[in-house]
Structures are given as C-alpha cells and as structure tokens.
Amino acid sequence: MVTIYQTAQSLTPGEYVSLFRLDATSVGGGIFYFVQGRVEGGAVVHDGIEYQPCDVEFEGFEVSGQGALPTPVIRIANSDGLIQSALNTYGDLLGCELRRVRTFRQHLDDGDDPDPSAIFGPDVFKIDRKTSENSVFVEWELSAAIDQEGKKLPGRQVIRDTCLFRYRAFNRNSGTFDYSKALCPYGGSQYFDKQDRPTTIDKDQPSRSVNCCKVRFGEANPLPFGGFPGVGRVRG
C-alpha cells in the first residue's frame, strides 16, 4: 500500500483535501463536519463520515523557533446559514474543539485508493475568541489544544546532531518497507547506507545526521530533520 508520504512526494499527488471537525458538544451543540472548498460532487465521505462543502480560509499555522505556539485564524463562510444558526443557538462557540486532517482526493471513501489512515494530522485547536462576524463570514482566532493542557514544547529530548525519528523498516519476506511505525516521511526509491552512500533496498539505513536528510530530500528542499541543529552546545 502506498503511504501518504509517498503520495505527497510523487509527481502527480492528486487533489489536496482538508477536512474539518468542529465539536460543539461542550456548549450543548453537536459535531459539524465540513470539507474546505468545493470538491467535485459536493459532499465527501472519509472513514464513513460525510463532510459538507464549505468555503473556509485557514491561515497562520506557522511553528516559531522562539517557543511560541501557533495561533491560527479560521474564517468560515456564512452563506448557507449553518454557522450563523450555530452561533445564534450556542453563542460564540468559545472553547469548542476544531480538528483538521489533510489527505488526497484518491484516499477518500469513493477514491481510487480509499484509505482512512492516509492523513496528515490531526491538527487540534480550541476556539479562543471570535474576532469578526458579518453576513459573509465568521472569523475565530484559535489556540493549539496542547496549550490548553499545560504542556510544553518540545515534548521529547533535545539532541543537537542526531535525528530520533523512527525510519521505515525493510521487510525481507515481502520485499517492501513497513511504514506503520515510521515518523520519518521519506518514501522514496533511492536507498542509502549508514554512511549516506547509495546502496540496495535491503541495506537502506539512516545515518541520522542532517546529511541523511540532504541525500534523500535534496539540499535545496526543506529537511524534516528530527534533531535540533539550532541549539547551542552545552559546555560543562
């Protein structure tokens, strides 16, 4: 089975789809499912759940190296009255949970390669405050759900020069890679050994250095390195 990471790195990944789940049960409401934009055919189904098309703008999801968590802004169209009705009934929906998952059109239930596990995310937020409301759209500022739980980032050991992301595992019986526990997003067909030298598929191993990312993703591309090369060395 092709993973979503392999799909994303292909030359023709397909149509990108963002799915949202707004949980208003904390204020006495229900759960609303909607898909960003107008997907061909109207509503879409993912993992057995129907998502209604809606004009959505989602911005500000940047991770700062200064330790600040992102505070995205979401704007949802008021055209069909659904959001306005929810506001009139349940207030500004403050504290409600918003989840976003991203996938590709072919991984939806009626796609060419349906796979509910082929997603990026979920990204989980809380509605922090309503910043604008008019006849066209409603705008909220969000906060990362992790911020609501008193957690700190990073949630793992800070190591400067070593990537700790779990790499794909080669299954000698099937002759394919197992991605079920992989955190490294590499799904390419170029293979390298622990010295970052080209090798065969069965000897593909990460060196866990920044150069390990460079040979796989290219020096000019963003590198999903699982270490913290920007931290200073500690001298005793």
Average pLDDT over all residues of the chain:
82
Element (H, E) at 87: helix 82-90
DSSP-assigned beta bridge partners for residue 44: 51
Residue 29 pLDDT class (50, 70, 90 cuts): confident
Q: Produce one character per residue of 135-161: b if its CB has 16 or more CB atoms within 10 Å, e if not.
A: eebbebbbbbbebeeeeeeeeeeeeee
Q: What is the pTM of this model?
A: 0.59
133-149 pLDDT, tens digit per residue, is 888 889 999 987 665 44
Q: Please state the rounded mean pLDDT for residues 17-31.
A: 88
122: phi then psi, degrees, rounded to nearest 5: -80, 150
pLDDT at 112: 86
Least confident of 6-15, 103-112, 169-178, 191-200: 6-15
Q: Please state the rounded mean pLDDT for residues 152-158.
A: 60
- Alpha-carbon distance 32 to 113, whole Å? 25
Least confident of 41-55, 73-87, 176-190, 214-228: 73-87
164-214 pLDDT, tens digit per residue, is 888 999 998 899 998 888 889 898 999 999 999 999 999 999 999 999 999
pLDDT at 166: 87
State both tokens at 55.
Answer: 């004009």
pLDDT at 63: 52
Share of the chain above pLDDT 70, in %: 83
If you search the block for the tokens 């976003």, which residue do you land on?
100
pLDDT at 67 over 60: no
- Alpha-carbon distance 92 to 22, whole Å? 13
